[in-house]
Amino acid sequence: MTQTRVERKERTRRAILDAALELCEDSSLVALSLRQVAKEVGIVPTGFYRHFDSIESLGLSLVDESFASLRALLRDVRRDQGSTTDIVDGSVSILVDHVHRQRSHFAFIARERTAGQPAVREAIRHEIELCERELATDLARLPGTTDWSPEDLRILSGLIVSAMVAVAEEILAAAQRPEAEKQIVEKARTQLRMVLVGALNWRSRT
Amino acid sequence: MTQTRVERKERTRRAILDAALELCEDSSLVALSLRQVAKEVGIVPTGFYRHFDSIESLGLSLVDESFASLRALLRDVRRDQGSTTDIVDGSVSILVDHVHRQRSHFAFIARERTAGQPAVREAIRHEIELCERELATDLARLPGTTDWSPEDLRILSGLIVSAMVAVAEEILAAAQRPEAEKQIVEKARTQLRMVLVGALNWRSRT
DNA sequence: CGATTCAGTGAACGCGCGTACACCGAAACT
DNA sequence: AGTTTCGGTGTACGCGCGTTCACTGAATCG
């Protein structure tokens, strides 16, 4: 026996998820058909139902998967803070690296964030808000923010997240154009530095 | 004669554009069918072809329309600079006002920017780049940026545009929740002020 | 006023869609 | 060894889709 039954099933499930991620890359999950996915995977359309109730429930699984990638990015950025590298250079490099490695996950989030079904949109919005909160607590540990109000920390965090979401989207749009990506990365670093200069000179109202 | 022929045609064309904007609000243009639009307008499906070649070319027209709204926003912001109002307060108020008045146009841009067909995406990406250029030339006229490099002006412009695009998206998501919107507006103003503090303390590398 | 233009009509087409259902055969269980 | 489970198959259905084509009738033109 080369493969157990659960192994086979899991393999097919993975193939479905991967095929769906790839196929909806040029449009959106709402424009994806069950039959397209089945054909790409190499199973008959009805076989799809052995793994998911519908395209929508497949989408919810993709949301979970993609958020796992996003959290891995945050974890790596946080772990890097202790190192000797420059915070800006290191963080941007990690961002770029993760976007490359989990390209389809980040593209999925970027797309469904605005184009997905309302439930998916709301879930993503909420997760991004959690990211802002996490980043805010990290920022509180930075020198120069000791007398900041919690609100201002959250606001600064939101600013940084907005800018980095935009950077991730630009990197995705610049696929296979290394010279364009290099410019984007340089821009991202400069933007982060501008924001940090603003932060260092900021005084929260008391 | 109550109506000339070109008037009738233009009226139907408008009805098609409006119906398409409304119908794709819950998903995306790629999930929109010619027949849905025709039914909503009250014409037979084939009548659609008297006005557009395809849904895609309809989408490109919507891009044009929507960016007319966005440029109107930029124009109003620019005109407001001369007034006595605070730049940040005034600009954000104008942004909010325009997003409310042309809600469906801004929602269209936000959605199709990431989820549209490649041609539509590319058209939007290009238009936003033009907006960044415009803003960069405006920033060059501000006091304190006289010795900035052109690259840094563009980068700052990109940062502001990213943040304001995010704000517009949040306002759209907070529809019918005035208290949430008030928070978003306050956040936007603070973010803009943080960025300006950063800009005032920035020195371009020579 | 007769000829022409053209926005909108309506029937017909082939296709891909989601889904129902009966079926198969090998792995898993007892 | 006999039975059950279940991932995957194949057929068939009705529906909505984009697109074709020949048409109508009122506004426009010469």
In Å, what is the CA distance from A110 to each residue of A125, A131, B118?
A: 11, 15, 15
pLDDT for res B106? 97
Taking residues A21-27, report their average pLDDT. Answer: 91
pLDDT for res B192? 97
pLDDT-derived band at B206 (thresholds 50, 70, 90) equals: low
What does residue B82 show for φ and ψ, rounded to 5 degrees? -70, -20
- A109-128 confidence digits (pLDDT tens): 999 999 988 878 888 898 89
- B9-35 confidence digits (pLDDT tens): 999 999 999 999 999 998 899 999 999
Q: Which chain A residues have a beta carbon less than 8 Å from that of B125?
A: 173
The strand ranges marked E within chain A are: none
Interchain CB contacts (distance < 8 Å): A and B: 111
Map B155-196 to HEC letters: HHHHHHHHHHHHHHHHHHHCCCCHHHHHHHHHHHHHHHHHHH
pLDDT for res A2? 61
Residue A1 has pLDDT above 60, yes or no: no
Structure tokens at B69: 């709204």
Candidates B23, B30, B186: best to mutate against A (most CBs of A within 10 A) is B30
Taking residues A198-203, report their average pLDDT. Answer: 93
Taking residues B76-82, report their average pLDDT. Answer: 92
Q: Does B143 touch chain A (CB under 8 A)?
A: no
User: Cβ of residue B41 near strand C, that is under 7 Å?
Assistant: no
- A137-183 confidence digits (pLDDT tens): 999 998 889 889 999 999 999 999 999 999 999 999 999 999 999 99
Please give the full DSSP string across A81-129, using - where no structure is assigned.
TTSSS-HHHHHHHHHHHHHHHTHHHHHHHHHHHHHS-HHHHHHHHHHHH
pLDDT-derived band at B203 (thresholds 50, 70, 90) equals: confident
Q: Does B15 touch chain A (CB under 8 A)?
A: no
pLDDT-derived band at B143 (thresholds 50, 70, 90) equals: confident
Q: Does B23 touch chain A (CB under 8 A)?
A: no
Structure tokens at B92: 């954000």
Structure tokens at A205: 């109202």
Residue A204 has pLDDT above 60, yes or no: yes
Q: Does B117 touch chain A (CB under 8 A)?
A: yes
Structure tokens at B28: 């995306």
Closest approach of B105 to chain A, Cα-based (Å): 14
Residue A206 has pLDDT above 70, yes or no: no
pLDDT for res A83? 86
User: Cβ of residue A27 near strand C, that is under 7 Å?
Assistant: no
pLDDT for res A205? 74
> In the structure, how far is the CA atom of residue A25 from the C1' atom of nucleotide C22, in angstroms?
36
- For each of the domains in chain A, give its residue range(s) and CATH number, in order of start: 1-52 (1.10.10.60), 55-200 (1.10.357.10)
Q: Does A36 touch chain B (CB under 8 A)?
A: no
pLDDT-derived band at A33 (thresholds 50, 70, 90) equals: very high
Nucleotide nearest to A3 (CA to C1'): C27
pLDDT for res A64? 92
| Axis-axis angle for helices B103-115, B55-80 (nearest 10) | 120
Taking residues B154-183, report their average pLDDT. Answer: 96
Q: Which of B30, B121, B202 sits opposite A197 (nearest CB)?
A: B202
Taking residues A65-92, report their average pLDDT. Answer: 93
Alpha carbon distance A108, A26 (integer Å):
10
